Amino acid sequence: MTTAGLHCEQLSRRVGDRLLLDGLNLSVAPGESLALLGPSGCGKTTTLRLLAGLDPVSGGRIRLDGQDVTHSPAGERQVAMVFQSYALYPHLSVLANLELGLEVRRVPAPERRQRIAEVLALLQLEGLERRRPAQLSGGQRQRVALARALLRQPRLMLLDEPMSNLDAQLRDQLRPELRALLHRAGHPVIHVTHDQQEAMGLADRIAVLESGVLQQVGTPQELYHRPANLFVARFLGRPGINLLAGEAGVQLGIRPEQLRLVESGGLPARLLRREWQGSQQLLWLDTSRGELLLLAEASLSPGEQLQVSWRPEDELRFSSASGERLA
């Protein structure tokens, strides 16, 4: 087992009698980017705060580059975090925001200036040094927060919903930039999101959490095509996966884009309604095995009788009892 990067074992957090995080095992290699994905309250922000040292750990271990930091104070872990609100110091200029951390860590003034100049150039923030956070746009604030985190020279970079305060257009533009920047910086990156698009766009691997329990870790493709259980299958993919009853005790899942309209020999279906989505139409079909969603290019009108079919190998089979995927 390699020691570089982040390893957590059986990481748990309990508040009173509520278990917020239950035995999380997770490793992130240097240069790798992992997204923690899940609905709100699933434990993803809890995980981030434990890793940062902002909340005490109730059980398990955290190791960073081979060193046990489970109980180290936040300021001594060399972990940087970009907060959802960015948490820039509102009374300080951009320059002072970046300098404060270096100053209290007793970095000599010439080195401070040089490192700040480098990171300002990297993030294209030159010329904004004298501004207060309130005088910056959302995208600029995000970059200042990122600059402050990079100046920490972290062994682990944490991002809490880094895109959620930006508008959709800016998000699409910044996602690849952020991804490239984090890759180049070369530390392990964990970012928390409830947005699967953001997770897929920013991360090499995704960890899906639900009710404090890790459901599955893997590449976006693995999670999409071979989900470990019904929760992951339903959580990933827009439009959502079709679920229909299989043989006894089995539930079938088929992605909408894997359903096909056929002339004959398929499952009879009636078109309930449709939604135009640009290149394709999203169709709601009523069949004897339940309601199905399907993406098609054909132009159809509601009430039409159709037949729908799929390849047996595209079926995902889940146990109805446990929700686990069956081989």
Partner 1 sequence: MPIALPLLAALIWSLLPLLWQLLTSLRTPEALVLQGPAAWLQGWTLANYRQVLQGDPPFWRYLFNSCLVGAASTGLTLLLAIPAAYGLQRQRPALRGGISLLLLAAAMFPYVLLFLALLELARALGWGNQLLALALPYAGLSLPLAVLLLRAAFADLPAELEDAARLEGLNLWQRLHRVLLPLLAPAVASTAILVFLFSWNEYPIALTWISRNDMLTLPVAMARIAGSSVYAVPYGAFAAATVLGGLPLLALVLVFQRQIVSGLTQGAVKG
Q: Summarize as ranges the residues that interact with partner 1 (CB under 8 A).
A: 52-54, 73-76, 79-81, 83-85, 87, 89-91, 100-101, 104-105, 148, 152
CB 149 to partner 1: min, Å: 9
Residue closer to partner 1, measured from CB, 54 or 245: 54
State how far the Cα of 272 lies from the Cα of 270, in Å rounded to an integer. Answer: 6
State the Rg of the chain over Cα. Answer: 24
Shortest distance, CB of residue 101 to partner 1, whole angstroms?
Answer: 3
Task: Provide, rounded to whole angstroms, the least separation between the CB of residue 70 and partner 1.
Answer: 16
Residue (131 or 260) nearer to partner 1, CB:
131
SS3 317: strand
- Alpha carbons within 13 angstroms on the beta-carbon side of residue 234 total 13
Q: Residue 11 Cβ, how far from partner 1 at the closest point, in Å? A: 18
Q: State the nearest-atom distance from the C-beta of 6 to partner 1, in Å.
A: 15
CB nearer to partner 1: give 72 or 281.
72
Return the HEC string of 178-243: HHHHHHHHCCCEEEEECCHHHHHHHCCEEEEEECCEEEEEECHHHHHHCCCEHHHHHHCCCCCCEE
Q: Which is nearer to partner 1, 7 or 152 (CB)?
A: 152
- Which is closer to partner 1, CB of 73 or CB of 127? 73
Q: Which of 263, 264, 317, 261 is nearest to 285 (CA)?
A: 261
3-state secondary structure of 36: strand
User: How far is residue 57 CA from its own chain's centroid?
Assistant: 22
